[in-house]
Amino acid sequence: MSDDEPDLELLALLRQHLQGKLTISDEPETGVLEGAEYVYDNSIDVALDMRSCKNAAAAIYAQMQQKEYSPAKWSTHELHPLAKSESTVAFIFTMDLLNFSFWSAKPEAGRFAIMYCGKRWTGYWSLVAALQRALDEGIPITDSHFWQNEEECTLEVLKQVFRSCTDEEIPLLEERLACLREAGTVLYEKYECSPVKLIAAADGSAARLVNILARDFRCFRDEHRFEGRRKPIRFLKRAQIFVADIWACFEGESYGAFRDIDKITMFADYRVPQILNTMGCLAYSPPLDTAIRLKKDFSTGGKWEMQLRACSIWCVELIRREIKRNHPDAEINAILIDFFLYDTMKEIEEAGDESAPHHRTRSIWY
Ligand SMILES: Nc1nc2c(c(CN[C@H]3C=C[C@H](O)[C@@H]3O)cn2[C@@H]2O[C@H](COP(=O)(O)O)[C@@H](O)[C@H]2O)c(=O)[nH]1
């Protein structure tokens, strides 16, 4: 938009304000849900099946109750840190700086994997295992001073941290080092080298913390242009899952106390669309469905990838609303629904069901 063109959105807001119809609260919004709805409304390759979403809401609620999904469940995963401490905040920050792109084009036996505690870990769990193993081996991988030290924190050392028990290396190793370097510099310049100070800057607002991460760290700024829309579509997946992991780990207390945690949306990755499609909630156009089944590469910010990510966010939001409509007192939000869907998809995959492959994008965003 050129400078001399009127900003119609701003004029509309001013008109509403002058008519007393607009209360501008200082509570921040992330804009993620608004962007997701816009893409959903303009999608031609992905649609939501409302009957399936209603059925899914009932099934998800029942299973979440039965499996007692709550923030406390986060700490029951054997690799997640248990201490409610600053070092756990640093661990989670490191983890969510690097929490992206673990999928492999190789068969299960040959894919990147980490041996730790006598078990073979793949995907997201390979990341958590690698960080735990590094700490056991005396590598200060969660310390932002280390990330900035170019003599100590080298690509070779990071290769050692993520050494695989197969022939395949972790994808995007150089990009992961760049994320640590940038984060170390920003923490040094703005937050006294402390992720705890970063959380404190949000003053108890989850939305504000997501916005701070997107503003101050390029590697968290997961936002992309969609067709002709002037404002970028914000997914902010790793920024949001960082806030969610802190909230869940600390069970809404201490560093995890956020008064607006319910503003966090589903995390637009490659796993949850997969299970939403399996449940019939997400429907794909034939060309898109074929491209996913043929395991084609999807470009970052491409129209198919944007629709998949945005419609997944919007789908989980509709499922959340349906659950709350039927169970107004249910302590459920998009985070817990997302965690449940991710874990369930992993159980389906571990049972060997490869019937619905996921879309494949290689990026640092998810
Ligand atoms: N939407 C969503 N995406 C999630 C997670 C998690 C793990 N969260 C744990 C914490 C609490 C929960 O109960 C989970 O146990 C990882 N991912 C993303 O998936 C991808 C990895 O997939 P795979 O290669 O198959 O492991 C990668 O983009 C990673 O960033 C989640 O919860 N939701």
Chain centroid offset of residue 250 CA: 18
The pLDDT tens digits of the residues spanning 232-248 come to 999 999 999 999 999 99
Cβ–Cβ < 8 Å for 167, 157: no
Strands 114-116 and 46-48: unpaired
Cβ–Cβ < 8 Å for 257, 204: yes
CA of 257 from ligand 1 middle (Å) equals 22
Q: Spell out a b/e string for 78-106, using b for 16 or more CB atoms within 10 Å of the CB, else e.
A: ebbbeeeeeebbbbbbbbbbbbbbbbbee
The residue count of the chain comes to 366
Q: What is the complex's ipTM, to 2 decimals?
A: 0.99
pLDDT for residue 15: 79
Residue with the two structure tokens 């006598």: 118
pLDDT for residue 227: 92
* Residue partners of 100: CB distance under 8 A and separation at least 6: 172, 238, 363, 364, 365, 366
CA angle 72, 75, 80 (to 5 degrees): 160
Q: For the chain, which residues score pLDDT lower than 50?
A: none
CA of 124 from ligand 1 middle (Å) equals 6
Measured by CA distance, the residue closest to atom 7 of ligand 1 is 124
> Would you give the DSSP letter of residue 167?
S
pLDDT for residue 106: 93
Is residue 317 lining ligand 1, measured as CB closer than 6 Å?
no
Cβ–Cβ < 8 Å for 263, 253: no
| Full-model pTM | 0.94
Q: Which of 96, 216, 222, 269 is catalytic?
A: 269
Token pair of 65, please?
């109750």
CA of 22 from ligand 1 middle (Å) equals 38
In angstroms, the CA 236 to CA 211 distance is 9
* Residue partners of 4: CB distance under 8 A and separation at least 6: none
pLDDT for residue 313: 98
269 annotated active-site: yes
Token pair of 327, please?
């169970």
Chain centroid offset of residue 10 CA: 30
The pLDDT tens digits of the residues spanning 1-12 come to 566 777 777 787
Helix (H) or strand (E) segment spanning residue 206: helix 206-216
Cβ–Cβ < 8 Å for 266, 316: yes
Measured by CA distance, the residue closest to atom 13 of ligand 1 is 339
Q: Look at residues 265, 262, 340 and name the one whose alpha carbon lies nearest to residue 310.
A: 265
